[in-house]
Amino acid sequence: MLIGLMRPVETTSVRVEGADLAEIQTLLEAHRPAGFDLISSPVEMIKGAAVLKSVGTFARRDQVTEVQADDLDGLHAKVPEGWQLLNVRVA
């Protein structure tokens, strides 16, 4: 018997503008949905302006669910579209 852990694959992005990196991080944290982690936030400096722009990308990291099957093919068959298999262990 194999046991796998899976979670949904979901991302969302938000655009923010701020005067400095600290403000950008504060704004991104304020927009972080529950269950999501910030995975990317490249910052762009606007020429001739005292403003930074960033697009923060958040990925879902909650809703980890266990699935069981007799073999690896069966385990993969139980992972629905939009989900990813994180790890597999032998029971």
Q: What is the pLDDT of residue 49?
A: 84
> Residue 78 phi/psi, 5° resolution?
-90, -5
Residue 48 confidence (pLDDT) above 90:
no
Rounded to the nearest integer, the mean pLDDT of the chain is 95
Using alpha carbons only, give the angle 81, 33, 56 rounded to the nearest 5 degrees: 90
Q: How confident is the model at residue 47 (pLDDT cuts 50, 70, 90)?
A: confident
pTM for this prediction? 0.80
- Percent of the chain with pLDDT strictly greater than 70: 100
Question: Length of the chain in residues, anyone?
Answer: 91
User: Between residues 86 and 47, which one has the greater pLDDT?
Assistant: 86
Residue 16, token pair as written in the block:
């923010």
Spatial separation of the C-alpha atoms in residues 81 and 91, rounded to whole Å: 25
